Amino acid sequence: MDSFLKNIKNLAKSRDCDCNFECNAKRFKQKFKNWTSGNIYVDEIIQDTQLSDHNYDSCVALEWIPYDRLYEIKYLTGSESDKVYSARWIDGYIDEWDKKNQNWERKGQNMFVTLKSLNNSTSITLEFINKIAAHHKIYGMTQDLETKNYMVVFDNKCEKCKYECNTVYFQRNFDKWTSGDNDIDKFIQSTQLSAHRNITEALEWIPYDRLYEIKYLTGSESDKVYSAGWIDGNICEWDSYFQAWKRNNKHIFVTLKGLNNSTSITLEFINKV
């Protein structure tokens, strides 16, 4: 708690506004009465970032994002105390002040965002926020209404690439398929999570009913080889409009190599292929 309060005091130094124009801080201050996180420390952190934003146009402050403005909230990764989710944000981020409506104009409606949870509000320190800010644009904070955990809301970019690379899109679709086997799922996911720029490094789960004219070619009992047609063809790039993969080579002929049990699917086996 001590370091939390110290952080607040450091930030609060720039709370005083001596701008001779209508800065963001003044606009935010007008709206303080319109929202609360329900927690004095969280309110203070958000207010401090707002009162320190003396820009006229581009906004750098955090805002309180009510949980019901987020949807398609999906667990991605992380342990009990430190979970990460993806979600979509109905309103999008503050772009600039709309003088006519005396309100914020927003961009990026229904955008994808990342949520990082904290199991208690006292662990929300500026240090924690700054660590995220080193890699991401932070938009604000919200509170999971079920667990009551506070969450930091930030962009959906890959930390390594600094943009929405293949791994981000693959991760978004983890809940849309399963092989029925946890180890195989994890294995395919790991190839997808390392295919940052090179899509050909990623494997995918191909439902058996997307294959046709399956013909036995050769091989022994434990190691049979078949040929087949593949209805969909391979993934080539992400289509942001349809939120789905674009594919090449529809109805391509592929080779299937059988495995007598799932534990024999190793990286070594796949690299050999």
Binding region for Zn ion (CB under 5 A): 17, 19, 23, 25, 54, 158, 160-161, 165, 167, 196
Residue 51 vs 65, nearer CB to Zn ion:
51
Residue 86 vs 121, nearer CB to Zn ion:
86
Distance in angstroms (rounded) separating the CA atoms of residues 190 and 174: 11
Could you tell me the smallest distance in angstroms from the CB atom of residue 116 to Zn ion? 18
Could you tell me the smallest distance in angstroms from the CB atom of residue 112 to Zn ion? 14
Could you tell me the smallest distance in angstroms from the CB atom of residue 17 to Zn ion? 3
217: its two tokens? 């070619």
Could you tell me the smallest distance in angstroms from the CB atom of residue 119 to Zn ion? 28
Distance in angstroms (rounded) separating the CA atoms of residues 153 and 65: 8
Nearest to residue 225, comparing CAs of 214, 237, 236? 214
HSE-up (13 A, CA, CB side) for residue 170: 27
Distance in angstroms (rounded) separating the CA atoms of residues 128 and 138: 12
- First CA to last CA distance, the chain: 56
Residue 61 vs 206, nearer CB to Zn ion:
61
Distance in angstroms (rounded) separating the CA atoms of residues 111 and 87: 8
Could you tell me the smallest distance in angstroms from the CB atom of residue 27 to Zn ion? 10
Residue 54 vs 224, nearer CB to Zn ion:
54
Residue 148 vs 160, nearer CB to Zn ion:
160
244: its two tokens? 């789905």
